[in-house]
Amino acid sequence: MAGNKILVVDADTASRNFVAAALQKAGYQILQAASGKEGLIVAWRDRPEVIVVDPVIADLKGEDLAARLRSDVRTSKIPLIALSSDAQPARSRSCMDAGFNEYLIKTAQAVPALIETVGRLLGNTAAAAKEGGLQIAFLSAKGGTGTSSLCANIAMNIAHNQPEARVVVVDLVLPIGSIAEIVGYEGNQNLVTICDLPATETGPDFFRDSLTEMAAWKFHLIAGSPDPERGNELKVGRIGDIIRALKEAYDFVLIDLGRSLSRISLPLIEHADLIAMIVSTDLSTVRLTKTVWDYLQSKGVHSTAVYTILNRAVGLEGLTKVEAEKIIGIEIKTAVPYLGGNFALANNQHQPLTFKFPNDTASIILKETAQQMVALARHLRAD
């Protein structure tokens, strides 16, 4: 994406000029700043597409610089890359926690890695998000709302209703995935193992040919982390380009985020064609959902892109649809009735609810919900 503006913030003149020259040779417009405070001024004034920072700057700690950029609406969504001479893992974690997207070490291979990273992050833009297959993100504010079950069952209904379409489900629930248990997947391939592969090996063809198709569910699957330890080892920087490759390979990419709302999941939510927000009927979950919805609105998410589902996962008691809508402040598109033990039985037998209990009211509602979500996602993509 040549021509994009890149801001390089580095107190070392020689290092800053070297990095700037390499990026300029790659076709980017370069802005420079010799201090953290100057970097803030340039970023807020000139709005670069990517900011590269050596976090070892005297006047303003790199983490503080990132925090100030993230807290300002003018720069909150700009990708930040730390290009640092500090190779300590603690500094890397500190910078990533502060809001940097990537942490690169100044080595002999730093410039090629930087150019690749800049190109990858620039590809994760709103314009690029509107290319390829439709992306639908599933999330909830609290565990126990049935988000993963609904994601799997709606994905199955999308695939069943459109047999010509290619559908993939990505389990991004951390630190341990949940969809494999629902659909009966027992393979060794998962999100962690795929993120361990080099980017050159995980293009669209890899995902077309290598992912397991869950026959009864009619979709392909990237299972989640198999255990918390592996989840903590996940190379989160690879997720963006993996999703882009999946969108080239599939017509529908459904991402189960569970209750995760973080720097990992937020870009996937912001760039989704449709956001399925799952809420149960207990008051605490409804109130937490309002908090999540208020936060998403502050990040620019519009209500038209949200498909809210009220799922009576635990019983008949609790708030009504109207009461939940009043508290959250958003329309609830679908209400799934209480299923008793049917949902648990279907999950335990690794079967879609629609096939296990085809005449159940909930099965009919899920089929209609899948159709409505696809129609809305296509409408929003077209706008």
Alpha-carbon dihedral 304, 307, 312, 313, rounded to 10 degrees:
-140
The pLDDT tens digits for 86-101 are 989 899 989 998 999 8
Amino acid 156: pLDDT: 97
- Any idea how long the chain is? 383
Q: Which residue has the tokens 């993996």?
A: 242
Residue 340 falls in which region: left (phi positive, over 0), alpha (psi -120 to 50) or beta: left
**Lowest mean pLDDT segment, chosen from 3-17, 62-76, 226-240:** 226-240
Sort 212 into a burial class: Cβ within 10 Å, 0-12 / 13-18 / 19+.
Answer: middle
- Residues in CB range of 19: below 8 A, 6 or more apart: 8, 10, 52, 83, 111, 114
The pLDDT tens digits for 282-324 are 999 999 999 999 999 988 899 999 999 999 866 667 899 999 9
The pLDDT tens digits for 103-142 are 999 988 888 889 888 877 776 555 566 789 999 999 999 9
Amino acid 267: pLDDT: 78
Amino acid 312: pLDDT: 86
Residue range(s) in the chain whose domain bears CATH number 3.40.50.2300: 5-123
Amino acid 334: pLDDT: 96
Q: Residue by residue, what is the 3-state secondary structure of the chain?
A: CCCCEEEEECCCHHHHHHHHHHHHHCCCEEEEECCHHHHHHHHHHHCCCEEEECCCCCCCCHHHHHHHHHCCCCCCCCCEEEEECCCCHHHHHHHHHHCCCEEEECCCCHHHHHHHHHHHHHHCCHHHHCCCCEEEEEEECCCCCCHHHHHHHHHHHHHHHCCCCCEEEEECCCCCCCHHHHHCCCCCCCHHHHHHCCHHHCCHHHHHHHCEEECCCCEEEECCCCCHHHHHCCCHHHHHHHHHHHHHHCCEEEEEEECCCCCCHHHHHHCCCEEEEEECCCHHHHHHHHHHHHHHHHCCCCHHHEEEEEECCCCCCCCCHHHHHHHHCCCEEEEECCCCCHHHHHHHCCCCHHHHCCCCHHHHHHHHHHHHHHHHHHHHHHC
**What percent of the chain is predicted at pLDDT more than 90?**
65
Amino acid 314: pLDDT: 64
Confidence of residue 63 (pLDDT cuts 50, 70, 90): very high
Amino acid 177: pLDDT: 94
**Could you name the CATH architecture of 130-382?**
3-Layer(aba) Sandwich (3.40)
Confidence of residue 2 (pLDDT cuts 50, 70, 90): very low
**Lowest mean pLDDT segment, chosen from 42-51, 234-243, 270-279:** 234-243
Q: 253 or 117, which is more confident? A: 253
Confidence of residue 251 (pLDDT cuts 50, 70, 90): very high
Amino acid 280: pLDDT: 93
Rounded to two decimals, the pTM is 0.73
According to CATH, the topology of domain 5-123 is Rossmann fold (3.40.50)
Residue range(s) in the chain whose domain bears CATH number 3.40.50.300: 130-382
| Structure token pair of residue 302 | 């519009």
Amino acid 239: pLDDT: 83
Q: For residues 317-345, give the mean pLDDT.
A: 91
- Whether 205 has a pLDDT exceeding 90, the answer reads yes
Q: 179 or 29, which is more confident? A: 179
